[in-house]
Amino acid sequence: MRRSDHQLALESLEHLAMLERHVAEGSWSAQVTVDAVCLRLAAAIDAAARLSADGRDRAFGDAWPVVRATRNRIVHGYTTIDAQIVRATVENDLGALRAALEQLVERAP
């Protein structure tokens, strides 16, 4: 049985909440923190990737290819991930990702 967009958005938000916990409890200078953040960010995007095409369009619109590319960069270029880029992504872009997912949850039947 296919999971609903509501369920997938909630799953993605759970990963983002854990990501934020790792940031709050860790240090950006610690590789374990960067690794944990990357894992949760990729998992959050993977959950969002399973949204219906309509749900993804409503939530992310034209920004989806950039979001998906972020996941691909983490997963396929893991040994060359720059911690400063990950940190900048979290600090500058995570709010928009969270807001898009929260709106999807709020609009669910």
Q: pTM for this structure?
A: 0.92
* Domain contains 71: yes
* Domain contains 108: no
- The predicted model gives 67-75 an average pLDDT of 93
Residues of the domain holding 62:
5-103
| Interval 38-62: pLDDT, tens | 999 999 999 999 999 999 999 999 9
* Domain contains 28: yes
Contact 13, 66 (CB under 8 A): no
Check residue 81 and give its pLDDT.
87
Dist CA 23 CA 35 (whole Å): 11
Whether the predicted pLDDT of 1 surpasses 70: no
For residue 28, the tally of other CB atoms under 10 A from its CB is 15
Whether the predicted pLDDT of 6 surpasses 90: yes
> How high does pLDDT run on average in the chain?
93
User: Concatenated DSSP letters for 13-73?
Assistant: HHHHHHHHHHHHHS-TTSHHHHHHHHHHHHHHHHHHHTS-HHHHHHHHGGGHHHHHHHHHH
* Domain contains 109: no
